[in-house]
Chain A
Amino acid sequence: MPPLTSRPPTTPVLAAETRHAVSVVLNGTPRTGHAHPRLLLSDFLRHELGAHGTRVGCEHGVCGACTVRLDGVAVRACLTLAVQADGRRIDTVEGLAAANQGRMTALQEAFRRHHALQCGFCTAGILMSLTDYLGRNPKPTEEELRDMLSGHLCRCTGYAGIVRAVMDVTGQAGGVPARGPAEGGHV
């Protein structure tokens, strides 16, 4: 264990009523905004940096709509303070196509093909969870995938399309045909 030392605090306290500079690398681009200590990262992204792709649902960590990647790792933006993100990398749904020559990524395309979204409110968060998760577990079983998806609420799809899209994009489509354009549906 480290030795016990007694020193007075040397780091500055960020005062409640002051807006403090918060610098992040948002989707690869350095950005600076200002935040009271109480400002949630979700609100900082949307209101201060104008990145509206990240959705806000429950604001207590249950729905997953606000999920972003903080230094690569999927976390709830509504359970993170903007000041905690200072100096860190944040990736949001806007960055997916931006990093892919402006075209939707294979995962996003699979979501479209498989009707993995209807209203889309949950989608940004799910895509950010998946990009982190599939990086660590490139071929999840359906059970593993559904466990990961338990961190997201989707009120529209019943998750079946989401599961199909992921199984497809991870090359495990076996027996779950795409519904939609291939069957003559509307895009």
Chain B
Amino acid sequence: MKPASFDYLRPATVADALAALAAGGDDARVIAGGQSLMPMLNMRLVQPRLLIDLGRLEELRSLRAEDGWLTVGAAVTQAEVLARPTLAREVPLLAAALPWVGHVQTRNRGTLCGSVAHADPSAETPLCLVASGGEVVLRNAKRRRTVPAADFFLGPLTTVKAADEIVESVRFPLARPGSGHAFREVSMRHGDFAITACAATVDGERASLAVGGVADRPTLRSWPLTAGGLPPDLDDALNAFAWDLGGDDDQHATARYRRDLVRRIGRTVLEEALSCRR
């Protein structure tokens, strides 16, 4: 399994990368960590004429918490974010979910922005971005725009990102004081893609649950708290959510099993998030 031929560009600046991407049109692709794209190239599922490498651009290496957001640039790896000592306080969902993204060896190269751009429906990073109310910063040669995560994903491997845009960074809101967060997933083996993944957030007023691996994109639903606790009709609410998510049978699990996981793990993570509010 070897990739088909392509030209390779290691741009000196983001501007160079964007100009090449605009000129290359549909024949050009950016590569970040390569942990999803290289398998697709090796299997010749994609055959771009030009590969533009974002991986070593200093401009895309920002990783900082300010003004209420954790901003992660396109060249920052999953391992680098996971190694951030303050991550569990800043974005607890990411701290809980990133260890489930592949393996140590793939996290050493894979990026958060690459995972968001790739938009696998069961991927953990898009799920956390949707669950936390994050944003995607897109940039082409002419302008920059910011899209809420809830509007970014359209379906499997499909987003609102235009062909001439890159994901310059993703932004996660810093966890608010008094909020609680919990993440769980079920997969065939640790490091495999999730069959179903659930991320819950509970703050002073609302409980919300985001689910990956069932619908064609990560999906969020929230409910008001009742007397400071989870809604009394939570089982019904989760059941309705599970049916709305739908899901498909595949080689790993049936749609019915996936809905069952939503009902069960959904409740578990909501209870965990409620009880770990700080």
A8 contacts B19, C-beta separation under 8 Å = yes
Question: Among the listed stretches A57-65, A110-118, A165-173, A178-186, which one makes contact with chain B, having 4 or more residues with CB under 8 Å of it?
Answer: A57-65
Please determine whether A148 and B34 come into contact, CB atoms closer than 8 angstroms.
no
Q: Is the CB of A151 within 8 A of B42?
A: no
Q: Known contacts A5-B15, A78-B42; is A16 also within 8 Å of B7 by CB?
A: yes
A residues in contact with B49, CB < 8 Å = 16
Closest to A20 in B: B8
If A6-B142, A84-B53 touch, does A74 touch B104 (CB 8 Å cutoff)? yes
* Complex contact B105–A9 (CB within 8 A): no
Q: How far apart are A24's CB and chain B's nearest CB, in angstroms? A: 15
A6–B102 CA distance with the chains assembled, in angstroms: 36
Shortest C-beta distance, B260 to chain A (Å), equals 25
B3 at the interface (CB under 8 A from A): yes
Q: Is the CB of B105 within 8 A of A37?
A: no
- A7 touching B13, Cβ below 8 Å: yes
Contact flag A133-B7 (CB < 8 Å), given A4-B144, A38-B2, A78-B42: no
Chain B contact residues, CB within 8 Å of chain A? 1-17, 19-20, 23, 34-35, 38-39, 41-43, 49-51, 53, 55, 59, 79, 99, 102-106, 108-109, 137, 139, 141-144, 168, 189-191
Given contacts A76-B105, A79-B109, A129-B105, contact A151 B191 (CB under 8 A): yes
Q: Which residues of A contact B2 (CB under 8 A)?
A: 38, 40, 43, 59
Complex Cα distance A176/B43, Å? 42
Known: A37-B6, A76-B109. 18 other contacts (CB 8 A): A4-B143, A5-B13, A5-B15, A7-B13, A7-B15, A11-B11, A13-B50, A14-B7, A16-B7, A36-B5, A38-B2, A61-B106, A75-B108, A78-B38, A78-B42, A79-B34, A129-B104, A151-B105
Q: Does A2 interact with chain B (Cβ within 8 Å)? A: yes
A15 interfacial contact with B, CB 8 Å: yes
Chain B residue nearest to A7 in the complex (CB): B15
CA distance A6 to B7 in the complex (A): 22
Of the candidates A2, A16, A150, the one whose C-beta lies within 8 Å of that of B189 is: A150
Q: Which residues of A contact B168 (CB under 8 A)?
A: 1
Q: Is A123 an interface residue (CB 8 A)?
A: no
- Asked if A101 is at the interface of the complex by the 8 Å CB criterion, the answer is no
Closest to B83 in A: A136
- A14 partner residues in chain B, CB cutoff 8 A: 7-10
Q: Which of A10, A13, A61, A147 contacts B38 (CB 8 A)?
A: A61
25 intermolecular pairs with C-beta atoms under 8 Å apart:
A2-B14, A4-B144, A5-B15, A8-B19, A9-B11, A9-B17, A9-B20, A9-B23, A11-B9, A11-B10, A13-B8, A14-B10, A16-B5, A38-B6, A40-B2, A59-B2, A60-B38, A61-B38, A64-B105, A67-B105, A75-B105, A75-B108, A76-B35, A79-B109, A151-B106
- Report if A80 contacts B (CB, 8 A): yes
Contacts of A83 in B (CB 8 A): 8, 10
Residues in A neighbouring B35, C-beta threshold 8 A: 61, 76, 79
Per-residue interface assignment for chain A, residues 44 to 55, with 1 indicating a CB less than 8 Å from any chain B CB and 0 otherwise: 000000000000
On A, residues with C-beta under 8 Å from B are 1-2, 4-11, 13-17, 36-38, 40, 43, 59-61, 64, 67, 73-76, 78-81, 83-84, 129, 133, 147-148, 150-151
B42 engages A147 (CB within 8 Å): no
Q: A9-B20, A147-B99 known; A75 and B1 CB under 8 Å? A: no
Task: Establish whether residues A10 and B12, one from each chain, have CB atoms under 8 Å apart when the complex forms.
Answer: yes
Within the assembled complex, what's the spacing in Å between the Cα atoms of A80 and B110?
A: 11
How far in angstroms is the closest Cβ of chain A from B138? Answer: 12
Given A11-B12, A73-B108, A78-B42, A150-B191 contact (CB < 8 Å): yes
CB-CB under 8 A from A8, the residues of chain B are: 16, 19
Q: How far is the CA of A41 from the CA of B117 in the complex (A)?
A: 25
Max chain A Cβ within 10 angstroms of own Cβ: one of B11, B79, B108: B108
Interface-central residue, B4, B8, B106, by most chain A CB under 10 Å? B8
